[in-house]
């Protein structure tokens, strides 16, 4: 399952490197993470960094490969087969790295972006608060400034890497600025007094990433750790909007890998398992699930590719927001459907830990919820669609007039 015709020879080499890396990942690490015996898989990051597979889009000056989104998506699909936890830890370099790469000072890029890309430090992002994740701007984390020091007070919930990451990008509102959008500021928080993990969550899947609730009590953050320095104060809204591109594209890209992993297991099983004297893939009820699944994954991959190309081409922020949200929504829902099909094809054995499909199913359930729930994706999609649609006169044929009664004014009633 691939779209080789759409990718370059360099992308094929990248895909092979990612496949080699993914094959390197010890099975025991996956099993231990799923049993929460691991809190944060540092060796995974170190190995990815050593192989120069992290932060692919960032400038070679900071250790990146300067690749476009269309290439990073290929890498994300491959890492996705490992599940949500490792996929997330891999993606966080892309997400937090985007914020530092676009808005950080040179010193911040040297101090944080470089070691992140080398896999020497682990990063996390704290956006969600106990009182709500979707309503991001209603967050209540505060930053009080005294000279060149900020004291942060608040909480962030569901942070992957809460327990193990070295650097956490969080958002807080600077006191004294009334407009919440103008007060919102991104901080690069290093662990120290005032930063505490108060709860590690028991999760349905996505385990082994140290997902927890972080509490900040007058946590000290120097001005040099405000993302962008002095100029970054009050710039959090722009940082947030920029970060939402990798936040959602990484979910979309890795989703394809999860769906692919599950349906390949199921398709192989259906080709071997017999019932009523024949291979079960001879039953339409089974083979059509395979057909639906590969179609969904191919469609999702193509949509992701076009969203990635839109970002690479620097199209308008509205267009990018719509396409990225469509990708996140469609790919994650496709993956959920595909993994369910895979489990159904496997029958009872699919529900056991003889096959990893049950773990993938537990993992994949999350992805329609996180990085902006799919309900929020729908809000964005319709908003950006209407904005563009209503502001531009139709360029093509006016199809509405192609009806016998099209010009009967008394019949087209809009209740105005």
Ligand X SMILES: Cc1cc2nc3c(=O)[nH]c(=O)nc-3n(C[C@H](O)[C@H](O)[C@H](O)COP(=O)(O)OP(=O)(O)OC[C@H]3O[C@@H](n4cnc5c(N)ncnc54)[C@H](O)[C@@H]3O)c2cc1C
Interface residues toward ligand X, by CB under 6 A:
125-128, 132-134, 158-160, 203, 206, 211, 366, 369-373, 375-376, 379
- The whole-angstrom distance between residue 385's C-alpha and the CA centroid of its chain comes to 22
Helices (H) and strands (E) in the chain, counts: 13, 9
Closer to ligand X by Cβ: residue 206 or 310:
206
Structure tokens at 84: 């949500």
Closer to ligand X by Cβ: residue 112 or 370:
370
CB of 252 to ligand X, least distance (A): 14
CB of 181 to ligand X, least distance (A): 17
Q: Is the dihedral of CA 308, 309, 310, 312 positive or negative?
A: positive
In residues, how long is the chain? 416
Closer to ligand X by Cβ: residue 158 or 269:
158
d(CA 360, CA 300): 18
CB of 8 to ligand X, least distance (A): 32
Q: Say which DSSP state 280 is in.
A: G
CB of 196 to ligand X, least distance (A): 17
CB of 242 to ligand X, least distance (A): 15
d(CA 259, CA 41): 23
CB of 276 to ligand X, least distance (A): 41
d(CA 221, CA 229): 11
d(CA 232, CA 10): 36
Taking the CA of residue 196 as centre, how many other CA atoms within 13 Å lie in the half-sphere pointing to its CB? 10
CB of 37 to ligand X, least distance (A): 17
Distances (CA, A) of 195 to 18, 111, 166: 35, 20, 12
Closer to ligand X by Cβ: residue 353 or 382:
382
The kind and range of the H/E element at 268 are: helix 236-272
Closer to ligand X by Cβ: residue 159 or 195:
159
In this chain, which residue has its C-beta nearest to ligand X?
133
Structure tokens at 382: 């319709």
Closer to ligand X by Cβ: residue 125 or 358:
125
CB of 108 to ligand X, least distance (A): 20
d(CA 389, CA 11): 35
Structure tokens at 125: 């992002």
CB 253 within 8 A of CB 332: no
Closer to ligand X by Cβ: residue 20 or 375:
375
Closer to ligand X by Cβ: residue 15 or 328:
328
């Amino acid at each position: 399952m691939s779209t080789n015709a759409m990718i370059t020879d360099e992308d094929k080499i990248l895909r092979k490197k990612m496949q080699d890396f993914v094959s390197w990942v010890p099975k025991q690490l996956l099993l231990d993470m799923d049993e929460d015996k691991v809190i944060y898989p540092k060796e995974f990051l170190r190995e990815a960094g050593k192989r120069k597979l992290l932060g692919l889009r960032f400038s070679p000056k900071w250790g990146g490969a300067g690749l476009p989104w269309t290439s990073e998506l290929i890498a994300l699909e491959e890492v996705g087969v490992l599940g949500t936890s490792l996929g997330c830890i891999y993606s966080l370099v892309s997400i937090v790295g985007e914020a530092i790469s676009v808005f950080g000072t040179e010193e911040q890029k040297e101090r944080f972006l470089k070691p992140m890309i080398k896999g020497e430090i682990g990063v996390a992002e704290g956006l969600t608060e106990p009182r709500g994740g979707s309503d991001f701007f209603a967050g209540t984390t505060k930053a009080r400034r005294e000279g060149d020091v900020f004291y942060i007070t608040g909480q962030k919930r569901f942070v992957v890497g809460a327990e193990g990451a070295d650097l956490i990008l969080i958002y807080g509102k600077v006191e004294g600025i009334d407009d919440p959008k103008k007060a919102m500021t991104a901080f690069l928080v290093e662990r120290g007094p005032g930063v505490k993990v108060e709860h590690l969550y028991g999760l349905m899947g996505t385990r082994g990433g140290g997902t927890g609730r972080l509490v900040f009590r007058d946590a000290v953050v120097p001005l040099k750790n405000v993302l962008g320095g002095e100029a970054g104060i009050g710039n959090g809204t722009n940082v947030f909007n920029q970060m939402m591109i990798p936040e959602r594209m990484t979910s979309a890209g890795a989703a394809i890998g999860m769906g692919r992993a599950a349906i390949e297991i199921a398709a192989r099983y259906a080709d071997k398992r017999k019932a009523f004297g024949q291979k079960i893939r001879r039953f339409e009820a089974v083979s059509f699930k395979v057909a639906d699944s590969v179609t969904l994954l191919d469609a999702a991959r193509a949509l992701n590719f076009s969203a990635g190309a839109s970002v690479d081409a620097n199209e308008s922020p509205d267009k990018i927001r719509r396409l990225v949200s469509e990708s996140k929504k469609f790919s994650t829902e496709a993956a959920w459907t595909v993994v369910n099909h895979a489990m159904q094809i496997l029958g009872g054995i699919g529900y056991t830990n003889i096959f990893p499909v049950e773990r993938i199913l537990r993992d994949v359930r999350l992805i329609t919820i996180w990085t902006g729930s799919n309900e929020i994706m729908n809000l964005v999609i319709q908003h950006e669609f209407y904005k563009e649609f209503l502001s531009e006169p139709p360029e093509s044929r006016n199809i509405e007039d192609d009806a016998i009664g099209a010009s009967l004014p008394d019949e087209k009633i809009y209740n105005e």
